[in-house]
Amino acid sequence: MIIKPYKVFGLFLLLLLSIAAYTAAPAYADNAVVNIDKLNVRESPGSFTKKLGQIHRGETYPILDEKSGWVQIQYNGKKAWVAKYLVKVQNNTSLRSDVNYLRVRAEPNTNSKILTHLMKGEKVTQVGSKGSWYQVNSKKGKGWIHSDYSSSSNSTQKSTQPSQTSTSSGNSQKVTLLYNSTNIRSGPSTNHKIVGRAHKGDDFQVVSKEGKWYKIKYGASTAFVAGWIVTANSGASTVSNSSSNGLKGKLIVVDAGHGGRDPGAIGLSGTYEKTITLSTALHLKEKLQAAGAKVVMTRSSDSYVSLAHRVSISNSSAADAFISLHYNSFPSYPGAKGIETFYNRSQDSSLAKQVQTGLIQATGARDRGAKGSGFHVIRNNTKPSLLLELGYLSNTSEGSLVRTSSYQGKISTGIVNGLINYFK
């Protein structure tokens, strides 16, 4: 019996891991095969970070982690990063039947830190759930796995009533980093050991405050960040509580703009629009499903999909809305920034205004408004449809911000909240 999020009964249901294919979060210890003659290897996931060296076409490296369009590999005895669109991801299940690893993550999303791996058939105890994710305990510790990879091995505690669980201690405050390469330390002073680094726009859950320092959740443990290099918020950028009423059962087509041989806009640091739209689309898919919606993706990998086929996917479905994700660029005016929403038919203007409002409330970005336009994917669409321009890659600060997982999460929250208000 495959366990779905709405059929979780009790907090201690035993799960038997059942590995399955899932394009948004590969479960196996995959390999990255270099797809170009020379590929830069970098210290962190971003084309602006320190270059460590180069690897070459045909070389194969095990993938250790994945984040925002980048994959982590083992390079010269150290962990390093390469752009995912420049490698071919080779699933080890086609090579070895005994490499059935399931990634256990620190948070219930595909961009959070990988804490450990579990083997196929290994038993764990469920201690919580969030959307389509299960929080589990094993002999290797506590973490999160996706429900697609688990099945029930024991029907114990069927009489237990469904319970709500929380991953926090009740403190919903978060801090957002203001600078790239921010030091994360083991204690509340600059004399304490640096345990990691994070980047501008990254969010962390606050555990407590000690003087001018914040104690934050960091992976499976806690760490500290200086209060003068962060902004604090109350966690308002969360999906509306009315999500189950607004989106439950709705079918949303999520269109990650560009892809494959069509890179879209290119940012100042060399970032491709196609990479960020796909990463954002995967964030959005996860949040829509957590809110009860069904999701169809026009693409789930770095593949080329024609405009006509994107429209065909929408028109041939029972979609309640079509959302096309894009990022803008205006190199001749590098000061341009902000978010804007486009619609084609007048009856879609209400949807556009609700989503635009949700986006601005969640991100605090400059409001460029909801506007009529004739883009192909919305002009030829028979479903309620929008094209979103979610920020400017040509703007130095905004171009850096939109690459972060935390900001893409805020964007996704804004879209979901807009859809919820529209469908009320």
Read off the tokens for 370: 């909801």
Cβ contacts of 409 within 8 Å, gap of 6 or more: 109, 111, 203, 237, 283, 287
- Of 211, 182, 204, nearest to 194 by C-alpha is 182
Helix 273-290 with 405-423: angle, nearest 10 deg: 50
- Of 110, 106, 105, 62, nearest to 82 by C-alpha is 62
d(CA 284, CA 295): 9
Query: 92, 31 in Cβ contact below 8 A?
Result: yes
- Is residue 389 flagged as an active site residue? yes
CA distances to 223, 283, 337, 398, 403 from 200, rounded to whole Å, are 17, 18, 17, 10, 10
Cβ contacts of 82 within 8 Å, gap of 6 or more: 32, 34, 39, 40, 41, 42, 55, 61, 70, 71, 73
d(CA 275, CA 296): 19
What are the b/e assignments for 222-258, b being 16+ CB within 10 Å? ebbbbbeebeeeeeebbbbeebeebbeebbbbbbbbb
d(CA 240, CA 415): 11
Q: Which residues pair with 136 in a beta bridge?
A: 126, 143
Could you give phi then psi for residue 85, rounded to 5 degrees?
Answer: -75, -10
The catalytic residue among 107, 273, 340, 389 is 389
- Output the DSSP codes for 126-147: EEEEETTEEEEEETTEEEEEEG
Active site residues: 389
